[in-house]
Amino acid sequence: MTATTDGSTGALPPRAPSASDATAEKTEATHSTRTAVRQDTADAARRATARATDYLLSVQDPAGWWKGDLETNVTMDAEDLLLRQFLGIQDPELTEAAARYIRGEQRTDGTWATFYGGPGELSTTIEAYVALRLAGDAPDAPHMATASAWIREQGGVAAARVFTRIWLALFGWWKWDDLPELPPELIYFPKWFPLGIYAFGCWARQTIVPLTIVSAKRPVRPAPFALDELHTDPRDPNPPRPLAPATSWDGVFQRLDKALHVYHKVALRKLRGAAMRSATRWIIERQENDGCWGGIQPPAVYSIIALHLLGYDLDHPVLRTGLASLDRFAVWREDGPPGAARGSAPTRMIEACQSPVWDTCLATIALADAGLPADHPQLVKAVDWMLAEQIDRPGDWSVKRPQLPSGGWAFEFENDNYPDIDDTAEVVLALRRVKHPDPQRVDAAVSRAVRWNFGMQSKNGAWGAFDVDNTSPFPNRLPFCDFGEVIDPPSADVTAHVVEMLADVGRTHDPRTRRGIAWLLAEQEPSGAWFGRWGTNYVYGTGSVLPALAAAGIPGSHPAVRRAVGWLERVQNEDGGWGEDQRSYRDKEKWAGRGASTASQTAWALMALLAAGERDGAAVRRGVRWLIDTQREDGSWDEPYFTGTGFPWDFSINYHLYRQVFPLTALGRYVNGGPACAPVGS
């Protein structure tokens, strides 16, 4: 009680609420609302993480590995049919199943694209059209007439890439004289020579060597029909291409190609024969145990053609196992393509490659980060499988590093010649997340892998995918090389994965690791993003680099990190997700960080933001909510868009497991914390 002004006592009258009181109440209410929203998002994220974990565990192979379909474009399917036509091993059932798949991929304008939602692509459309002709589709059928009309509008066969015209030359639909020359004598160029076979990336090298034999032999099989409808002027189907100025690099290489055409006519028979025998040995020595070459389809196709031209019959063990390996690239869908009515006729899609090692290490990381016990039997089984896949013999990488012991992992089931640095880094990260009953065995495998990755560092401090210092500018200048990237320079995404792995094994302060970090910081784009070589594109590069920098101790306050966070926040879509179209490789200003939201790209952005300490930010909450809201009832996500990269722009990939492993990783790190992340609510 207090005294009143008249001397009496009593309670003070109620005080009128002030503006500061209202602000405080509003702030408290806002804080309570935000806390409730965060808690609701966190609870929903936990449920989504549990569903996604169950789904991913359910699709593991009993042997311990994971593998999603690797979808590219219909040139794989078309060239498979052309190969079978060339070898005379057509199968009506197989041909029709492949044709159904190719027809199902045709767009309403009559074209075929190289990625979902992309523009029609000339060479792809030509190859798809020819494949359907081989399958019996009439040229005057509406879908065929529309395609051929579009092809003519784009310049016809004469405007197609070299690889397409090589396939047509095999049947006399194009002249070998009008193709760039590839002499087999290339096999004798010194290993250091800037145009020798080891100046090319491993994927190009494996393709070029057999094609030198094909180029020397210039075979022509009788064509089953004419293709006049694909030329702008059937009377002049092979118009000459204009020469670039002699003072330009393009002009120099065009004139070199003309000289090689002259050499083709006067080449010494003994020298050419010896070169082809050397190339043959090179090809056979690199055949894998399962019959394939490098675990990828294109080198296998051209190696089979080359060896067959040299007299190897189809029953020869080399060709028999090679052809059998191609069958393992086929994905049969008994009820037609996804979305087709039940009872539809089967389709057959050809994978350009298969990705079990990559998928398995990413799935293991995702499940561990999602909170699955480190000694869970399925994780242990995955580790057992990965340990058995470590490569213990030298491959082509040892040309540059002859004294370096092996210890890497490849991407595929069978590819001992070409382990890759990216897979090796991610496998180590996966192995170290699992509590294996034989830790000494794991430690030994990790030690070999770390030594190999250190040894594969390029002189600029960064890492490429397969080779060291594979940076010669000349291979890309060759008239032959118009089909995509043919060299393997260091990239931000691979370097980031290696840095993250080295930090994880306690090698952050090693001078070689610090050089990699310095290279990454120097490679940041003015926008704040990093270029993504093996995933699309700036979202992938940035999503790879920020977790690596955080693992290496770069604080979230670092200017490079803040610039990257700002870029990710600016490109977030209205719906809360992130997406980036393949066209960002061609038009950075318009498409970098722009595209329909996808599960994998949203996850990459979240992984970057979480590593940067942005867990409580609005961008993270909206991104997590997008993943929660788009998850299907079975715990999976749908993703028709292509978010993987083979060659920037030229060869795009839809890894069907990306839509599962990366969202689970992001949600797991949001809920439980993870590398450089604190758990939600901390």
Same domain, 328 and 380: no
Same domain, 342 and 379: no
What number of residues does the chain have? 682
Range of the domain at 296: 75-224+248-350
What is the pLDDT, as a whole number, of residue 620?
98
Specify which residues 647 forms β-bridges with: 651
Is residue 556 classed exposed, middle or buried when 0-12, 13-18 and 19+ CB atoms within 10 A define those classes?
Answer: middle
Same domain, 157 and 295: yes
Instruction: Judge contact between 101 and 128, C-beta under 8 A.
Output: no
DSSP assignment of 533-554 equals: SSBSSHHHHHHHHHHHHHHTT-
- Total structural domains in the chain? 2
Residue after which a domain boundary falls, among 350, 379, 412: 350
Nearest to 351 by CA among 123, 622, 68: 68
CA 389 to chain centre: 20
Instruction: Judge contact between 338 and 656, C-beta under 8 A.
Output: no
- Based on the residue annotation, tell me whether 422 is a catalytic residue of this protein: yes
Instruction: Judge contact between 1 and 10, C-beta under 8 A.
Output: yes
Same domain, 524 and 380: yes
**C-alpha pair distances (Å), 267 with each of 274, 282, 344:** 12, 21, 55
**C-alpha pair distances (Å), 25 with each of 29, 30, 33, 396, 643:** 6, 8, 12, 69, 46
**C-alpha pair distances (Å), 575 with each of 140, 623, 625:** 44, 8, 9
Helix axes 377-389, 439-455, angle to 10 degrees: 50
Q: Please report whether residue 440 resides in a domain.
A: yes
The residue from 396, 422, 423, 493 that is catalytic is 422
Residue with tokens 């942005």: 614
Q: Please report whether residue 1 resides in a domain.
A: no
CA distance 481 to 647: 12
Same domain, 148 and 169: yes
For residue range 588-604, list pLDDT tens digits in order.
999 999 999 999 999 99
CA distance 278 to 272: 10
Specify which residues 654 forms β-bridges with: 71
Q: Please report whether residue 40 resides in a domain.
A: no
Backbone angles phi, psi at 342, to 5 degrees: -60, 140
Q: Please report whether residue 32 resides in a domain.
A: no
Nearest to 538 by CA among 546, 526, 530: 530
CA distance 628 to 43: 10
Q: What angle do CA 402, 408, 414 make, to 5 degrees?
A: 105
What is the pLDDT, as a whole number, of residue 564?
98
CA 627 to chain centre: 22
What is the pLDDT, as a whole number, of residue 8?
43
Instruction: Judge contact between 556 and 564, C-beta under 8 A.
Output: no
- DSSP code, position 435: -
Question: Using H for helix, E for strand and C for coil, what is the string for 55-86?
Answer: HHHHCCCCCCCCCCCEECCCHHHHHHHHHHHH
Greatest Cα pair distance, the chain, in angstroms, is: 127
Same domain, 152 and 276: yes
Nearest to 358 by CA among 368, 350, 348, 366: 366
What is the pLDDT, as a whole number, of residue 239?
80
H helices of 185-311, where? Answer: 202-217, 249-266, 269-285, 297-309
Residue with tokens 């670092």: 558
Same domain, 435 and 467: yes
Q: Please report whether residue 677 resides in a domain.
A: no
CA distance 142 to 507: 62
Q: Please report whether residue 123 resides in a domain.
A: yes
Same domain, 59 and 103: no
Residue after which a domain boundary falls, among 350, 374, 393: 350
Residue with tokens 């990237």: 485
User: Which token pair is 647?
Assistant: 């060659």
Number of H-type helices and E-type strands within the chain: 23, 7
User: Which token pair is 80?
Assistant: 């498979």
Q: Please report whether residue 162 resides in a domain.
A: yes
What is the pLDDT, as a whole number, of residue 33?
57
Same domain, 327 and 346: yes
What is the pLDDT, as a whole number, of residue 23?
56
Same domain, 415 and 313: no
The CATH number given to whatever domain includes residue 631 is 1.50.10.20
Same domain, 367 and 297: no
Is residue 663 classed exposed, middle or buried when 0-12, 13-18 and 19+ CB atoms within 10 A define those classes?
Answer: buried
Q: Please report whether residue 429 resides in a domain.
A: yes
CA distance 55 to 313: 46
Same domain, 504 and 482: yes
Residues with pLDDT less than 70, the chain: 1-37, 336-343, 676-682
- DSSP code, position 645: E
Residue after which a domain boundary falls, among 330, 350, 370: 350
